Chains A and B, each alone.
Chain A
Amino acid sequence: MLVIGERINASNKSVGQAIASKDEEFLAKLAKAQADAGADFVDVNAGVGFDARENATATMEWLIDIVQRATDRPLAIDSDDPDTVQAALRKYRGDTVMINSVNAEPERLEVIGRLAAESQASLVALLMGKGGIPSTVEERLAASEVIMTHLTSLGVKEEQVFFDPLVIPISVDSTQGIITLKTIEQIKSRYPAAKTVVGLSNISFGLPNRGMVNRAFLLMAAYAGLDAAILDPLDAKVMSLVKVADLLTGKDAACRGFIRAHRKGILAD
């Protein structure tokens, strides 16, 4: 299971403030801490700071620079604005990179898809179009078809695509957990080379004891075929469950990773 560290996100209050006040040290530390905790990718969402939209690109470039100096882990460029994504890709020096995200809207697929093809970036694709999050598995699969057809026509390879089946809080609609899981299963059978990814903590929004809900859902999703999760790598309990998920789904030969984590003393019950 690939872990995409979610902490550097401008919509988080303390990160938003750090970006606004140009607190480089805070942001560099947060990047390094996530990498040290085992994040495979570090997500970078610069928002628009507290200024106008024109500054979004400049803020992203500034932030990319800080994060890549703090860690050599690959970055996930988190923006839906093509200009910002393009600027970030130029600024970024690493080879492996992810773009987060695109959806099934043709105009956005066209522009962001081209950027992904050029830079051979992995691309998170949300299974929805203009009308918001579809409530059924079928509608989400229809979105996957639009996305894959368009992206492959631009030269993006199937294995570059990370489909996000979308997670709606279970507190709002109790049927939605299963719908996300079934969508993951279906995507994996339709596009075996493509990957799946979820923003994990959405599932528990509005509930008490969110951690245990997140962890249980991670295991269920792993069984359904989940390849990656956007989560908080500084949460030792959820990171332990990532190890357990790999262990139980045949992704940890001879249980090496799990036992190594035990020896390092990083497993948290």
Chain B
Amino acid sequence: MSEDIIATLKENVIQGRKSLEDEGIDEDLTGTPGVVELTQSALDNNIPLDVIVTQGLTAGMEVVGEKFATKEYFIPDMLASAEAVGAAMDILKPLLDASNVETKGKFAIATVKGDIHDIGKNIVAILLRGAGYEVQDLGIDVPTEKIVEMVREEKPDYIGLSALLTTTMVNMGEVIEALKENGLRDKVKVLIGGAAVSDEYACEIGADAYCVDGFHAVKVLDAFHQAKA
């Protein structure tokens, strides 16, 4: 029974079905329980939280990530799955907070100073939340000082910087320099992403990694997380 619920939960994450009313990626699924209902029944059946999260939600998102990478899935598919997982996490959050189940780490994300692009940043935030990270979104056009301040006060394990413009990507380097000056650079891993940047640019400014997209960001963070453990 428990295994059935978890398998169905995972399948519905892959289908991008938040609730009963959603038709899903395959047609004709309307009326069957979606991720929200299945998460609730998993709780009602006393399935452990970590099983719901890792074997249901995260396992489903991993499949979504693979399908996105092979271009079977597109952005709307991925967003539907991520939203479904987000809704499930809203149900689980209070319980997770009260239990000893740890998140994989704290991740802060910002679009750097001068740049107001937020779509890519939001997708990365949604996917990392779905992958079990505690995500804090600092928003767009975020001044360097504010990012430094945040790293000092909140001590995130990772910070993601986004820039889409060749004119604003230089501000990513500025953030890294400011972290160094404040003695915070070794306290946090810095990941960068966005249309303007590249692996080479990450090297040039001394970032820890460049991420092509949100799923890549999940992989990179998971690798850092495992290296730490």
Contact = CB atoms under 8 A, between A and B. Distances in A.
B87 interface: no
Nearest to B78: A206
Interface in A152-173: 168-169, 171-172
A207 B169 CA distance: 26
B224 interface: no
Contacts of B79: 171-172
B116 A133 contact: yes
Interface in B156-180: 164-167, 169-170
B166 A171 contact: no
Given A11-B196, A168-B119, A208-B74, A130 B141 contact: yes
A133 B116 CA distance: 8
B75 A205 contact: yes
Given A48-B166, A53-B167, A169 B74 contact: no
Say whether chain B's binding surface is mostly helix, strand, loop, or mixed: loop
A208 to B, nearest CB: 6
Given A11-B195, A11-B196, A171-B76, A132 B170 contact: no
A207 B167 contact: no
A172 B122 CA distance: 10
Interface string B177-213: 0000000000000000001100000000000000000
Nearest to B119: A172
Contacts, number: 55
B223 to A, nearest CB: 26
Given A11-B165, A132-B140, A52 B75 contact: no
A10 B75 contact: no
Interface string A48-70: 10001100100000000000000
A171 B195 contact: no
Contact of A206 (B76, B118, B167): B76
B116 A128 contact: yes
Interface in A235-249: none
A229 to B, nearest CB: 20
B167 A80 contact: yes
A265 interface: no
A98 to B, nearest CB: 18
Given A56-B167, A81-B167, A171 B116 contact: no
A233 interface: no
Nearest to A103: B116
Contacts of B166: 10-11, 16, 47-48
Given A11-B166, A48-B166, A131-B140, 13 more contacts: A10-B166, A11-B196, A47-B167, A48-B170, A56-B167, A132-B116, A132-B117, A132-B118, A168-B119, A169-B75, A171-B75, A172-B123, A206-B76
7 contacts: A48-B166, A132-B117, A169-B119, A171-B76, A172-B79, A174-B76, A207-B75
Task: Give 10 nearest A-B pairs by CB, closest first.
Answer: A206-B75, A47-B166, A132-B116, A171-B75, A171-B76, A48-B166, A132-B140, A10-B166, A172-B119, A53-B170
Interface of A: 10-11, 16, 47-48, 52-53, 56, 79-81, 128, 130-133, 168-169, 171-172, 174, 205-208
